[in-house]
Each structure stands twice: as C-alpha cells, then as structure tokens.
Structure 1
Amino acid sequence: MKRVPFIKSDLGMMLILSVLIGIVVGAIDTVFGRILIYLTDFRSEHSLLLIPFLAPAGMIFTYYFLKYGKNSSKGMGLVFKAGHQEEDNIPKRLVPFVILGTWVTHLFGGSAGREGVAIQVGASISLAASSFMKRVDASQFIIMGMAAGFAGLFETPIAASFFALEVLTVGALRYDALLPTLFAAFAADVTSKWLGLEKFSVAIENAPSIDAGIFIKLIILGIIFGLCGGAFSSALNKMKNLFVEKLPNPVRRVGIVGGLLSLLLLLLFSGRYAGLGTNLIDASFSASTINPYDWLLKAVLTILTVAAGFQGGEVTPLFAIGSTLGVVLSSFFGLPTAFVAALGYVSVFGSATNTFLAPIMIGAEVFGFENLPYFFIVSSVAFVFNGNKSIYGNQKVAAILQ
C-alpha cells in the first residue's frame, strides 16, 4: 500500500472522525474493562475452582478462534503490519474474538495483560473508518486507533498518543498523525471516565531532590530496569519460537502449557501471580508485603502465558514486574519505596516495548507531573540499555538507531 501524504484540507474531517473513533473505542474499552474487573474479582474468590480449567478453556477458545477468526488470530502482528502498510485490512471479527479471549484468560487465571485487546480493537475500528477518507494514509488511522484504545483503557491520553506515534517504528515519530491521534486519545479518555471506568493513580510526594548522588542512583536504576525489560522481551520472543517449534499445533500448545500454568499458579501462593498483576501493583504502593522474587515469578508466568497463545497482552504485568522490582531495589538504594516502585513501573514497560516518550508520560499522568524529571532520567537510561529488544515482534527500528 502506497503512503498518501497528509493533506491539510482534510484536517477538519479527520478530526471529526478521530473524536468519533475515540468515543466508540472508549465506550468499548469501558465495557471490556468493567467486565474484566468483575471476572478478576470473581476468579480471586474462586481460584481453586477456576484456575485448574485454564487449559481446557484456552483450548476451546483457540479452536474456534482459528476456525472462524480467519487471519485475526495474528493479533498484534496484524495491527503492526497494517501500520507498516503491509496489510490492507484487519477483520472486524477480531474485535469480539480478542475481547472474549482475554476474558477467558483472566477468568481462569492466565498471567496476562489487557492492552492487547484495547490496541487491536482501536486499530480495527479506526481502520474501518478510514474508508471515509480515501486521500489520507490509512496507517494514520491505525495510529489513531491504537492511541484511542490505550487511552480509553488506562486513561493516560498523552502517554497513549506518544505510544501510538512511536511504537510502530522506533526512532521515527509519525508527526503526520499527531493532531488526530491526540484528539482520538482524549476523546476515548473522556468517554471511559464519563462511563465510570477506574483509573490507577498514586501521588508520589516524597521524591528526593536531585543532586549528584541521587542522579547516579537514578542512572543505575535505569540500567537495571532497562536490562530487566530487555530480558523480558528477549525471553518472550525466544519462548514463542520454542513453543511453535516443539508444539506446532496451537490448540495442543495452549492445552499443554495451560496445564503447566494451572499447576504453577496454584502451587505458587494459590493464584498470587494469576491475572493482570494489579494485586502486586497495589501492594507495591500500599506498604503491603512484596517478596524479593515476586517480580521474577510474575515475569516467568507471563512469558509462559503469552507465548502459549493466551489472549491479553503484556503491559499491565510489566507494570507489576517493574513496581515489585522497584520495591526490592528501594532498600538497596536508600530511596523511598513508592518512589522507586513508580520508576520501575514506567521504565520496565518502556524498555520492554522499546519506547521512550510513552513511559515518561505514563509516569507523569499516573504519579504526578511534578515527578517528570525522575521518569525522564530513568526511562532515558532504560531505553538505551534494553538491547533494542521489544515484546512486539513486528516493530521496526529506524536506520539511525541500527
């Protein structure tokens, strides 16, 4: 597909469509998110009854997804290919399938995220809307939809805008899509807020003043978080390839790995590492108990869940991995626990997704804009030290960074 240059005379129509897309995607995010919260709470109350059925539930869903979902089973890879203009279409049936699949994953305890649904739904709906504007590059609508999906679910519209603009090709911001992306993200954010979707936010009020000693500590933390995110991405991609090689049948793969996951999830503190990881995030910022190995076990179980083919995503577990690792590191660095947990929350996500601006803005929108300098320093270092790895296999890297 040949890229069509942005035409400023189309701006008015583009912005109208971006707002409408944001409203629709924000509403879908809300329904999806609120039901997911209910299912998570229900599973937490009945872990011993539900987690053992992760494998059969995953097998049934995977069978029907492959049979009736056409190429929508390619998931995020399909979105990235459409964003790179290597695919012309994202099937509309992707929307109900990825929503239902993620509900199944979380009801039965898979350690996965939720952003995959939001981004895929947003991209699918937005791309469908691109038919109203023949002269505009359809990939702009992919970016717009990704931002709307992320913003509607996490209610961080500035971070969502930067994430969508930079994640397709690292080192090449899509400024041609900047304004409509911003409009779509804020429309989705306002919609999900108005419909009552919860937002996670914590006020970090005890951040230390930056001096030479604190600056050095922030640099070292950035290196650690960057290596952590890079290692997560590398391990995830290698595990996906290993599973495909050893278990080429997707239904059987989900069944075998799902059975192993059920056993591990129950043996390891009866479901402590099941689902999104919001329990670990909450514990990180409420002075509750965080074990030194929480971040590692959450990482391993998330890698197994996603690599096996369960629907969901990785972002919220990455938030949990980063925040719990931050809690562990805080005592070694003599820094406030919640402060270092916040640094880990944003920079492990950034290093694992190979993004730079998005994690900085997530930190500002979730933990307060007054802490932006800390997120800038740590995320900058983490971005450099992640080894150019990414959880998104179809992400491209600009020549200047290669």
Structure 2
Amino acid sequence: MASKRQIKLGLVPTGAGGPGNHNRWLDKDIPLDSSVNIDWYIDVARQAEEAKFDLIFIVDSQFITENSPPHYLNRLEPLTLLSGVATRTTHIGLVGTLTTSYNEPFNVARRFASLDLISRGRAGWNVVTSGDAGTAGNYGRDEHYDYDTRYGRALEHVQVAQGLWKSYRDGAFVRNRETAEFLDKSKLHPLNHVGEHFKVVGPLNIERSPQGEPVIFQAGNSEQGRDLGARIGEGIFSHAASLEDGQAFYKDIKGRAKAYGRAPEDIVILPSTDIVVGDTDDDARELERAYHFADHSFDQALAEFGRSFGWHDFRQYDLDAPFPAAALEYARSSFYTGAKRITDLAVERGFTLRQTIEHIRQPKNGPFVGSPETVANELIRWFDAFALDGFNVRLSHPANFTRFAREVVPILQDKGYFRKEYEDTTLRGNLGLKKVPNP
C-alpha cells in the first residue's frame, strides 16, 4: 500500500564542480564544458525525468574570484538554461536562482512568467539575497546591502512579483475571432505598488500559466532567512547534518509558517543531499572516500575558505597559529551565519587555521551511503521521522547518479514512498501544492 506522504526528489547539477569539488571535472564521464553545455543539462534533466524526479535546481551567483570552483567560473545563466531544458522535457520542474538584491521585480516577474509559460507550468524561483558581498561591485555599489536590508528587499520583491503575476485574472484572454475580442479588459488591472524598496505600476504583460504562477523556493539558515522562508517559501532548500538537525529545522520552519497563518503542508522542505551507491555498504564507503580526496585538495580548500568571509584571503595567515577569529568581521555582509559557525567551532576547540581547514575537509561518513537497499531504507527513515519532505540530490559523479536513479529509486517506488508516474504536468501539482487562483 502506498504511503500517504510521498518523498519528493530534486536534482542539483553543478557540472564541472562546485564548492568542495574543484577537481570533479577530471571525471571522464563529465564533458569538459559541462557547465556551459546545454546538451549536457538536457541529458541529465531527461535522466531525472525518466526517474520521475520532481525538479531540477540550478544554483547561481554573480561574483567570482580566481579561487572560485570550476562550475562558478564559467556557467550558463539559470533562466536561459532552463528555457532550453523546458523545450526538451515534459514533466520535471525547472527551478532557477535569481537574487532579489540586484534585480528589479518587474523584470524578474516577467522572466519567470515566461519560463512558466514555455514549460507549461513547471517554473520555480529560488529566492536569494546574494551572499557574495563582492556582487555589489558588479552593480555599481561600493558596499553590499546589510542583512536587514537584503531580507527586507527580498520580502517586498517577492510580494511585488506575486502581485504582478496576478495582473491578469483567469480567463482574461478571450481570443474570440467571431467577436474580434482578444482581451476581456475587466480582467486586467495595474499593481500600483509603492513600498520601502520598490515602486512598480504594472500590470505585467504576460498571462498566467497552468499552475497559476511559479513556485517560490528559498534557502537561508539565518534567523532572517528562516523567517523569510516561513513567510513566502513554498519549497525550502536546506542542509541537515543529522536526522535530529533535520527534525529541528523542519519543526521550526513549519511552526513559523503556522504563526504566519499558513498551512504547514503548503511548504515542502528539501535538504541538499550527497548520495553514494555501491555494490555493498563497504564498497560505497570506499567510493565516498575516493571521491572526497580526488575532488578537492588542501590548497584548494584554503583558497576557497574565504568565500563565507566575503572572500577574505586566509592564505596570508600562519597556518599553525590560532584561528584568526577577528576575520569574522569580513563576513558581516556575506555568508555570516556559516562563517560564525566555523569561527565559533575553531575558537571553542582551540584550532589553528590548518586544523580548521582540515576539520572542514576531512572525510565525513554521510548518512546516505551504501548498497541500494541501505540507501533507500535510510532515506525512508529520515522521511518517516519528519526530518524533511524530500531530498535535493547533488549530482556529483554521473555514474553514481545513474546507479541512484536505476537502483535506489525503484526500491522507493516498490515500498510505496515514491511515484511510479507523475501525478500532474505542473510543478505545483507534482509537489502537492495548490494552484494559485486569480478568479
């Protein structure tokens, strides 16, 4: 008998290698130009669609240094990429990242509404506020927005976009050749928004999609990030180091959402997950270690370490001196929550800088590593424990993803925890979210 709740699955492809995976492009199964190769993205999206995944998720940022990982150095813009994927797929959701800090609501609303129509109702927007403080310099600003401003802009930005998506009521386009009536003008209205951060007249010049409007996703673990997710998020991308951490985050987000008058079931929580599949549990653990050491070196980890701290260069410090805790100040307008967690850990344990880097990059036994049966059972255990609603699977090495799709997913299906066929043609429908009406 099928489980009442169903596991949701997303796929996160980072081509040539994202953070912590600088050398992944050396895998011969990955095209050297994978991060800018639309055929590669289409291929992995179709593999995920064949396995009945809910969505493919494209991460993004708009600032790089020479120490950024290969995928960040050279990659396609998310909505352009997903529009290409949309024409070669039929059911899988298409979720792209766009920052509210350096975009205007009208353009964002129009671009996502276009993707939603092109895909016939499969678009999703991952709302971010830009953690890379250096992004400011690419948009004519001397300094990045502070946390409160970033999240204040984000909330208003999303609310404006959602207002613009309601410019046309359902059935506004009559398109009646006999009466020569193209538009029912009574079903079009301007927005006339005037707020703290934006002033937008509207209306938006594009009709609504079969799912009403794009699904709003959000990823942020700070207090402001969690609060924003609880207010506007329909899908939450998170991280869960343990089942207990996942349960605490799940309870917190759902509780905050309820306090805002939302139904907890209207939010789907999908933590990012590394999965390694082997013939046996021991085989999978060996593969996990091999991937870890092949994909990243100490020197690469040290050079990349400063990203959370506003790309502060830690190579200037003595590796064997106490961790430079004062460097946390450089993270004030960057990924402060993560930087503070690292700093607190290093200070509490009396780590040197070298020990801090080694601690972060040392192999850690992931929970979803083992034989196909072992992996499937552990995914189910976390799901049944309400630590999450599904998993955002990071596509590391292609051969490993193939094994997951072909060997683990069928077990989930046979046990009644994952679909054998799509329930709907829209992203909302497949995630179990309601269509947004505009009668």
Normalised TM-score (structure 1): 0.25
Rg larger for = 2
Q: Answer 1 or 2: which has greater helix percent.
A: 1
